[in-house]
Amino acid sequence: MSDQITPEIFEHLVDLAALELDETQAEYLRKQLNNQLKAIHELEAIPIDASLPASLHGVPFEAAQSAAPRADEWKPSPHVKDILSQAPELEDGYIVVPDIPHTTLK
């Protein structure tokens, strides 16, 4: 079977994933992706009734089993300083980022 994820598709995925890979990494990862897809194709052999619902999780979530939503009230976080101290670049309490590229939508 030929590789389903071609170098062109792979390059597109890498860009979408906001990654930048060297050649050795790219070769390994594309090969592994194609191997995994071969395993995934086993699913296609399963007869599935069109009415079968999808399960986003295993255990059913009944209303009685879920915590009631909190009141929508603003509360100050006790951890502001700790959280901001994790930012790689900070200025006057603001997180600094480089220029944001702009794309003109067609």
Partner 1 sequence: MELCDLSALEMTRLLRNKKASAVEILESCLQRIGQVDGRSSKLDQKTEEADKQHVHSFITVTDDLAFAQAHAVDDALAAGKDPGPLAGVPFSVKDIFCVKDTPSTAASRILANFKAPYTATPVERMQAAGAVMIGKVNLDEFTYGSSTESSAFQPSTRNPWHTGRVPGGSSGGSTASVGANEVPLSLGTDTAGSIRQPAAFCGVVGVKPTYGRVSRYGLIAFASSLDCPGPVARTVSDAAAMLQVIAGADEHDSTAAAVPVSDYMTNLEKGVKGMHIGLSPDYFRITFPDPRTGEFQQQPLPKEIEASVRHAADVLASLGAEIIEDVPMPNTRFGIPAYFVVSRVEAASNLHRYDGVKYGLRTKQPYTDLRQMYKISRNEGFGLQPKLRILMGMYVSAAQYSEQYYQRALRVRTMIRRDFEAAFDPQGKYRLDALLTPTTPTTAFEMDAVYGDSVLMQYADQLTVPANHAGIPGISLPGGLDGEELPIGIQLLGADYTEDKLFRIGRAYEQATAQESWRKVLPRVLR
The contact mask relative to partner 1 for 53-72 (x = CB under 8 A, - = no) is xxxxxxx-x--xxxx-xx--
| Euclidean distance between CA atoms 45 and 64, whole angstroms | 38
Among residues 2, 97, 104, 105, which is the contact residue for partner 1, using CB under 8 A? 97
CB of 72 to partner 1, least distance (A): 14
CB of 87 to partner 1, least distance (A): 6
Contact 34, 5 (CB under 8 A): yes
Residues that bind partner 1 (CB under 8 A): 1, 5, 9-10, 13-14, 16-21, 25, 28-29, 32-33, 35-36, 38-44, 46, 48, 52-59, 61, 64-67, 69-70, 79, 82-83, 86-89, 95, 97-101
